[in-house]
Amino acid sequence: MNNRNDNAKEDHIPGINPEHISEIVYRKWKHEGKDLRQIAREIKRPIGEVQRILSQKQKLLIRKGSIKR
Amino acid sequence: MSKKTVTERLLSLSTGKLSCFCPTTEEFRKREDSELTQSGQPGLHLKHSLVTRQGAAVSSLQEFNGSLPGIIQSRFFIDSNWPSLLSFENRGRPAMQASSDDEFHDSEAGIDIYALFNAVNGIIRNGVLDVSELDKYSPADAEALNVSGLREVWKHTLTGCSQCREIITALNELRGAVREVAETADRDDQPKSDRDHIKPIS
């Protein structure tokens, strides 16, 4: 368990809590109008991961019905 | 004791008496021949013979049920209203069409309309998502995003899928609505003017 936490700490970039990365990606997309490449560059994450995180967040919001489909 | 009686009676039905409920093969053949002569249409004959065979089987079993002794005894139940698996109307019907399309709308692999929308940054050209945006990715990024899979999703959107359109609209609204909120929030976050800091003279 401790080992897993250590790995998580090593993975995440300084100043960004890994638990909040979804919120950060989503915020950059919706508030700042940034695209996948820009977000990936800024948070220093692979573009594929950014894509996956953003899609999941969008699906969650649309499923919850906060945005009318 | 009663079980034995029932078994004996059933066994006695199995040979001679069943023949009165189920028409023999010869009778069927004669009936089919006469139907073929009357209709003169091979397709109609085939369809009709299937229906008559099914009907004959159902009625035979219903009569057989009626002949079984006792009220509580278990019987054969056949719902004649149930759609026939043999019916010609069901042939060639794309039963899995809806579920295969769902892969484009919400894929566990992450290659769906959401991924396409994000990859092209929501840019719409000629009423559809601008697929040329996918060409702007480097080979490494294209591989990471599975651009070839996204092109398949884009092809699906060309069919005019209403669900895809709804998702694209929702995503556009989501981004637009939040931008409006962000603008409002930014205005609130602005430092207050000096006038606000001046205490009124009492």
| Chain B residue with Cα closest to A38 | B121
Whole-number pLDDT of residue B29:
55
- Is the distance from CB of A12 to CB of A18 less than 8 angstroms? yes
Q: When comparing pLDDT for B29 and B111, which is higher?
A: B111
CB contact under 8 A, A30 and B175: yes
pTM: 0.52
- Is the distance from CB of B89 to CB of B95 less than 8 angstroms? no
- Is the distance from CB of B150 to CB of B111 less than 8 angstroms? yes
The three-state secondary structure class of A25 is: helix
CA-based end-to-end distance of chain B: 110
| Chain A residue with Cα closest to B106 | A59
B124 phi, psi to nearest 5 deg = -115, 130
Residues B174-193, mean pLDDT to the nearest whole number: 54
- Is the distance from CB of B42 to CB of B49 less than 8 angstroms? no
Mean pLDDT of chain B: 66
Per-residue pLDDT of B74-86, as tens digits, reads 555 545 454 444 4
Residues A2-25, mean pLDDT to the nearest whole number: 62
Residues B101-114, mean pLDDT to the nearest whole number: 88
Share of chain B above pLDDT 70, in %: 38
Surface of A (33-62) touching B: CB under 8 A: 33, 35-37, 46-48, 51-52, 54-55, 58-59, 61-62
Whole-number pLDDT of residue B108:
85
Whole-number pLDDT of residue A3:
44
Most confident of the following: B34-43, B89-98, B119-128: B119-128
Rounded CA-CA distance A30/B103 in Å is: 25
Q: When comparing pLDDT for B176 and B42, which is higher?
A: B176
Residues B124-134, mean pLDDT to the nearest whole number: 92
CA B195 to chain A, closest CA, distance in angstroms equals: 30
Per-residue pLDDT of A15-69, as tens digits, reads 667 668 899 999 999 989 999 999 999 999 999 999 999 999 999 988 877 555 4
Kindly state the tokens that stand for B56: 């004959």
Neighbours of A4 (CB within 10 A): 8
Residues B172-191, mean pLDDT to the nearest whole number: 59
What is the ipTM for the molecules in this complex?
Answer: 0.76
pLDDT at residue B202 tops 80: no
Chain A residues in contact with B103 (beta carbon < 8 A): none
CB contact under 8 A, B145 and A48: yes
Per-residue pLDDT of B145-171, as tens digits, reads 999 999 999 999 999 999 999 999 999
At B62, the pLDDT band (50, 70, 90 cuts) reads: low
Contacts 24+ apart (CB under 8 A), A41-50: A43/A13, A43/A16, A44/A13, A45/A21, A46/B144, A47/B141, A47/B144, A47/B145, A48/B144, A48/B145, A50/A25
Rounded CA-CA distance A19/A9 in Å is: 11
Kindly state the tokens that stand for B136: 């702007």
- Among B145, B141, B159, B29, which Cα is nearest to B104's? B159
Share of chain B above pLDDT 90, in %: 28
Residues B56-70, mean pLDDT to the nearest whole number: 55
